Every structure is written in C-alpha cells, then in structure tokens.
C-alpha cells in the first residue's frame, strides 16, 4: 500500500484506489458491465450476501468498477470509506435522507446549489424535518441556530454562484458540541484545494459530474467519510437505488487522473480573469475568493490550498447586457454546467438557480446580471482576450 498522507494529490489522482492493480494485469480499470455475479457454492454466496466474505452479488449493491472510483475518492479526501451515486443530487439527497427523519433539525445556509436548496425548501419539510437556512455570511447566526439543536449541519463553500466562503473549522466545532453530523459539498473547491474532513467535517459530498470527471461527459456523485456513517449511506443507496453505473464510473476515474493538472491550470486563469474583470467598467462586482478584496479572503487562505476555477461577476445593465455579451464569446460554451476542460459561461437564471423563480433568486440576493464562469484549461491569454473583444463589441454596439 502506498502511504496515503505522504504523497501529493497529483499522484493520488493516478494511483489512488488502483495500487493493487487490476484483473488481467490491465493497466486501466476494467468496466464490469454485469448486473449480477454467479456462485456455485450456495454457502459462499450466502456469506458474500451477508457481507461476511468479499465479493459481489448485484450491481445495485456494489460493482468492481464503482468500487475503484470509491477507493480513489477516499485517497483524494483522506476518507475511510465512500459511496458513489448516479448524480451529485442523488448523493446530496441520499446523504440528507439517511440522517434526517421526522422531527430532525437541519441547519444550513441560504446560499447553496439550487437543487440542494430545493431539497431543503420543498422535500425535507414535507417529511417533517425542521429546516433552518441562515444568512451565509453570518457565522454568529449559524452558530446560534446550531446551539438551539441540530442533527445535521450542511455546508457548501465556496458557494454557487456567488463564491461566498464559510469558515468550516469554526462551524464544524460548533456542530460537534451539540452532536450534529456535519456535511460539506466540496464540488467547487475540489480535493486539490480543500479537504473538509481535516477541518472537522464528517461527510464530504461531490458532484463528480463537475471537476472530478472534468470532461462534461458523465454524471455521478460521491459521498465519503468514516465507515460507520458510510455503512448507513450505502444501505440507503442499496434500497433506494440511485447507484452509479460502471460506464460512468470508468469515465469519472479516467477524468480524475488529470484533476490536479486541470485545476492548477484553471485556477491560474481564474485569478487572472478575476483581476481583469475588476478593471472592466461594465462590471459592477467580481466574486472570486482569490481576490484580496473578497470579504472572506482570509478564511479562504486558511482553509483552501488554492482558490478554484469558479468566478462570477455582475454586469451593469443586468440581463440585457448578459444576453448581448455571452454570444460574442468564442472560447466558451454557454451552458448549465461547470468543471469541464472547456470554459463555460452562464447566468444564474439558467445555471445554478434554474430551479428557482425570479422572486426566489431575488430573495437569495442573486442579481439577474450575475454571470458565472467555469474557467477551462484553454490558454489564459486567449480567455482574457476573448473577454476583452466581447466587452468591446457590446460597448461599440451600444454607442451606435
């Protein structure tokens, strides 16, 4: 076994979960496309079914390709155990439903991924769960709500799409005092930049669709943490059935191999693009935790190793300017996705908060002029000159 703590993330991304090699001496993870696994010896079969002997029974429960991915995320996040899901939202909702029931209380923040916000606002209350969503910036309010009683504290930092930062260590410590389970969505930061388990979080969640897969060609979700917690999450998945298929697991494994290379390049460009946007007169505000004027830059420096590839900015003139600027970009998809090798632009209305109404977005303080950039791996200079020409075009068009 490779000593997990002493090697870098780039090395873990390659070898994590694959230290022992694969069947047939394959150098790549085989895709095991089998729904079930056969046994001649009924006693052996029964032992495997009971979990008393190693092996596989049925791919909703476990699958060799999916297990390799689970082992890889354990390596990246220094987790004991992991459970893979069909999508990020399946991972998030399953983790919440595993630990919440009628009468439970969950504390989180107003800023979270749109789908997660819907689980909090629409589905959990229906189950009789008391949901408290605090102002994301108010650590005092979050701590006060935790102290009133809390079964699960759910964090997401940096937030989508406004890139707010919450202090993981401080809030996890408050939750620990009342015996709450702490969950954190680490999708935006990626394991390269932030390891919430080391900051006191119990359960780390990823939408593997994003930076982990990295190529916008597969969907998946991952949940990781200590085995006693993961055993419960795994049981929930086995019964409720949002398991990951082995083809997607393979693509995510392949994507993860270049995670460190991709994100290192992406965040160099993200910093440069943020600094450029600060100088652009048509931009009212720039959100990037790597900017010294970001209001939680100091916390970001303490808990992150890098500031990530997500940037957002507010265009003067709102949606009207957005609709004129975005079509001018040459090296960008306008799409509701992030974390890919291509740069992707999108307004909150059609991306992070597509699930929300205009009124809901306004209540969350998400301006209609807000544009999110998922910075790709193109050359930094090309991305900046692309933005420059798009701004020039809009400026000239409005003078005419």
Ligand X SMILES: *Cc1c(COP(=O)(O)O)cnc(C)c1O
Cβ contacts of 136 within 8 Å, gap of 6 or more: 109, 110, 111, 159, 164, 166
Does residue 345 have an active-site annotation?
A: no
Catalytic residue among 111, 151, 167, 185: 185
Residues in Cβ contact with 51 at an 8 Å cutoff, skipping those fewer than 6 apart? none
- The distance of closest approach from Cβ of residue 277 to ligand X in the complex, given in angstroms and rounded to an integer, is 21
Contact with ligand X (CB under 6 A): which of 12, 164, 210, 372? Answer: 210
Does position 356 interact with ligand X (CB under 6 A)? The reply is: no
Could you tell me the two tokens for 142?
């979050």
399: Cα separation from own chain's centroid? 41
Nearer to ligand X, 115 or 246 (CB): 115
Partners of 271 in beta bridges: none
Least distance (Å) between residue 113 CB and ligand X: 4
Smallest distance from ligand X to CB 68, Å: 19
Question: 180 or 310: whose CB is closer to ligand X?
Answer: 310
Measured in degrees and rounded to the nearest 5, phi and psi for residue 258 equal: -105, 15
Interaction of residue 187 with ligand X, rule CB under 6 A: yes
From the list 70-78, 82-90, 125-133, 279-287, the region that binds ligand X by CB under 6 A is: 82-90
Burial class of residue 126 in the structure, from the number of CB atoms within 10 Å of its CB (0-12 exposed, 13-18 middle, 19+ buried): exposed
Q: Is residue 111 at the binding interface for ligand X, with CB under 6 A as the rule?
A: no
Task: Say whether residue 158 binds ligand X (CB under 6 A).
Answer: no
Residue 206 beta carbon to ligand X: minimum distance, rounded to whole angstroms: 8
In the complex with ligand X, which residue's Cβ is closer, 83 or 89?
Answer: 89
Q: Who's near 6: CB < 8 A, 6+ residues apart?
A: none
Residue count, binding to ligand X (CB under 6 A)? 16
Using CB under 6 A, pick the residue from 104, 209, 271, 374 that binds ligand X: 209
Q: How many residues does the chain have?
A: 400
User: Closest-CB residue for ligand X?
Assistant: 88
The answer for residues whose C-beta is within 8 angstroms of residue 390's C-beta and 6 or more apart is: 325, 326, 328, 329
Stretch that binds ligand X, among 15-23, 58-66, 81-89, 311-319 (CB under 6 A): 81-89
Closest contact distance (angstroms) between CB of 242 and ligand X is 10
Among the options 105, 210, 234, 372, which is catalytic?
210
Residue number with CB closer to ligand X (265 or 352): 352
Q: Let me know if 210 is a catalytic residue.
A: yes
Closer of 207 and 287 to ligand X (Cβ): 207
Q: Which two tokens stand for residue 252?
A: 């995510």
**Smallest gap, in angstroms, from Cβ of residue 286 to ligand X?**
20
Least distance in Å: CB of 352 to ligand X? 7
Residue with tokens 């507010």: 314
Q: Is 167 a known active-site residue? A: no
207 near ligand X, judged by CB under 6 A: yes
Choosing from 59, 73, 83, 113, the residue that interacts with ligand X (CB under 6 A) is 113
Residue showing tokens 């992070």:
352
Per-residue burial over 139-153, b if 16 or more Cβ lie within 10 Å, else e, is: beebbebbeeebbbb
Q: Which of residues 86-105 bind ligand X (CB under 6 A)?
A: 87-89, 92
> Residue 69 is encoded by which pair of tokens?
């991915």
10 Å CB burial of residue 108 (0-12, 13-18, 19+) is buried
248 forms part of the interface with ligand X (CB under 6 A): no
As separate numbers, helices (DSSP H) first and strands (DSSP E) second, the chain gives: 16, 12
**Known catalytic residue: 43?**
no
Among 120, 188, 250, 307, indicate the residue that binds ligand X (CB under 6 A). Answer: 188
CB of 92 to ligand X, least distance (A): 6
Residue number with CB closer to ligand X (100 or 344): 344
Considering the complex, state which of residue 92 and residue 166 has its C-beta at the smaller distance from ligand X. 92
Helix H or strand E encompassing 185: strand 181-185
Helix boundaries (H) for the chain? 9-15, 42-49, 64-77, 88-99, 114-118, 124-126, 139-147, 168-177, 190-193, 227-240, 246-256, 259-278, 297-303, 318-325, 358-363, 380-399
Residue 161 DSSP code:
T
Give the residues lining the site for ligand X (CB under 6 A): 87-89, 92, 113, 115, 160, 185, 187-188, 207, 209-210, 219, 221, 338
Residues with catalytic annotation?
60, 113, 185, 210
């Amino acid at each position: 076994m490779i000593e997990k703590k002493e090697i870098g993330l780039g090395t873990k991304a390659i070898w994590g979960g694959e230290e022992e090699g694969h069947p047939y001496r394959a150098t790549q993870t085989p895709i095991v496309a089998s729904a079930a696994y056969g046994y001649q010896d009924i006693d052996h079969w029964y032992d495997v079914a009971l979990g008393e002997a190693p092996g596989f029974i049925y791919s909703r429960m476990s699958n060799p390709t999916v297990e390799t991915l689970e082992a890889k995320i354990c390596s990246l996040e220094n987790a004991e155990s992991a459970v893979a899901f069909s999508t990020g939202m399946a991972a998030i909702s399953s983790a919440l439903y595993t630990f919440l029931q009628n009468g439970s209380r969950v504390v989180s923040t107003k800023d979270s991924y749109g789908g997660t916000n819907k689980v909090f606002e629409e589905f959990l209350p229906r189950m009789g769960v008391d949901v408290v969503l605090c102002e994301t910036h108010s650590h005092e309010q979050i701590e006060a709500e935790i102290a009133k009683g809390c079964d699960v504290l759910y964090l997401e930092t940096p937030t989508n799409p406004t890139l707010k930062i919450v202090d993981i260590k401080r809030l996890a410590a408050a939750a620990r005092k009342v015996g709450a389970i702490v969950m954190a969505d680490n999708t935006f930061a990626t394991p390269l930049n932030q390891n919430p388990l080391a900051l006191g979080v119990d359960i780390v969640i990823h939408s593997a669709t994003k930076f982990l897969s990295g190529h916008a060609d597969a969907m998946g979700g991952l949940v990781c943490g200590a085995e006693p917690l993961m055993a419960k999450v795994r049981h929930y998945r086995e019964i409720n059935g949002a398991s990951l298929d082995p083809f997607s697991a393979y693509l995510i494994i392949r994507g993860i191999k270049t995670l460190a290379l991709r994100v290192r390049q992406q965040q160099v460009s993200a910093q440069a693009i943020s600094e450029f946007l600060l100088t652009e007169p048509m931009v009212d505000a720039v959100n990037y935790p790597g900017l010294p004027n970001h209001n939680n830059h100091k916390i970001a420096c303490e808990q992150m190793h890098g500031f990530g590839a997500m940037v957002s900015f507010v265009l003067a003139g709102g949606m009207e300017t957005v609709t004129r600027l975005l079509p001018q970009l040459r090296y960008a998809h306008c799409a509701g996705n992030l974390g890919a090798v291509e740069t992707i632009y999108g307004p909150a209305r059609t991306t992070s908060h597509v699930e929300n109404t205009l009124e809901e977005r306004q209540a969350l303080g998400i301006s209609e002029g807000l544009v999110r950039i998922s910075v790709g791996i193109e050359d930094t200079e090309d991305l900046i000159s692309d933005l420059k020409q798009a701004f020039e075009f809009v400026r000239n068009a409005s003078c005419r």
